[in-house]
Amino acid sequence: MHVAIFVFDGVSLFHVAAPQMVFGEAAVIADDPAAWSVTLFSTGTGSVEVAGGTRLSGIAGPTTADDADVVIIPSWPESTPEIGEDLREILVRAHARGAVVAGLCLGAIAVADAGLLEGRAAVTHWLGTDTLLGRGRCGSVDDSVLYIDHGDVITSAGTVSAVDACLHLLRRRSGVDLANRVTRRMVVAPHRDGGQAQYIENPVTAVDSEASMSTVMQWAVGRLNHNLSVAVLADHAGMSRRSLIRHFRSETGTTPARWVTRQRLDRARQLLETTDLDLRMIAHTCGFGSEVTLRQNFTAQFGVPPSRFRSQFR
């Protein structure tokens, strides 16, 4: 898989690094690393000066995107200029031949300018919501989610949400096993789905180790077939149920119950993709209690029942 990431003068290295790390790690640990490539490109060639004055050299030219499976606009200048005709043509041409186009953070504005979001919902960093709406080049703007995937076009909220969107795309294109291996290598929190809320003017506060949810989340992921009620999680964290819910929502943007269900569904999807276990055993392993409960939750989340998902994936 070839992933082409667009860079420009003034781009933040942090924004570039988000997709580069996700897909770069995938290329390193994939079963066939030779089948992967991650390239930085621009409308010119040579180098670009990123935010802070550092210069990136060895930047490929625009034709690099012509054979990419995924073309990513990782950000956009905060002044939100109109997209240039050269970049517009690159994105339209890539989209027309079947490549996935992703606008991460303010990069969603550039994707909308290219005409790829007409009549469709989009998301961007909350600071760019009014600009994206004002452009009038998408159907709606939802500032309450992390990312929106239309299959051929993906947009995401702020930079950390871009990591979530890239992991989602990796999972969709290459399977949950590779995506989970990348997650572990990057040492990031378990994947957040697109429907979770992005943070809007939520100041960062110091979180002591006892209040952090990371430990209890890792503990829960290893015990998905056990009772993981709020009471059980709170007891393990050594705090009250109310405190657990407050800290959990602050750190993850969702409730403990919804997070646990999503982890169980992700595990079920992984087992459906990589094993021949029957649905009864998968339901037990993932903590759903019964095959019926697994089927109901899986169908509600992914739009297809587990058995059909397995046959389609294979």
pLDDT tens column, 174-186: 887 888 888 878 8
Tens digits of per-residue pLDDT, 114-125?
A: 999 999 999 999
CATH number of 205-314: 1.10.10.60
pLDDT surpassing 50 at residue 11: yes
What is the SS3 assignment for 247-267?
Answer: HHHHHHCCCHHHHHHHHHHHH
Question: Topology of domain 2-186, per CATH?
Answer: Rossmann fold (3.40.50)
Query: From CA 135, how far away is CA 117, in angstroms rounded?
Result: 11
Query: From CA 155, how far away is CA 289, in angstroms rounded?
Result: 35
Q: Report the relative pairing of strands 140-141 and 121-122 from DSSP bridges.
A: parallel
Outline which parts of the chain fall under CATH 3.40.50.880.
2-186
Q: Are 266 and 191 in contact (CB under 8 A)?
A: yes
pLDDT surpassing 70 at residue 7: yes
- Of how many residues is the chain composed? 314
Tens digits of per-residue pLDDT, 244-267?
A: 999 888 777 788 999 999 899 989
- Provide the pLDDT for residue 206: 34
Query: From CA 6, how far away is CA 179, in angstroms rounded?
Result: 22
* 100: three-class secondary structure by DSSP: strand
Residue 291 makes CB contacts below 8 A (sequence gap 6+) with 279, 280, 283
- pTM, whole model, 2 decimals? 0.66
Outline which parts of the chain fall under CATH 1.10.10.60.
205-314
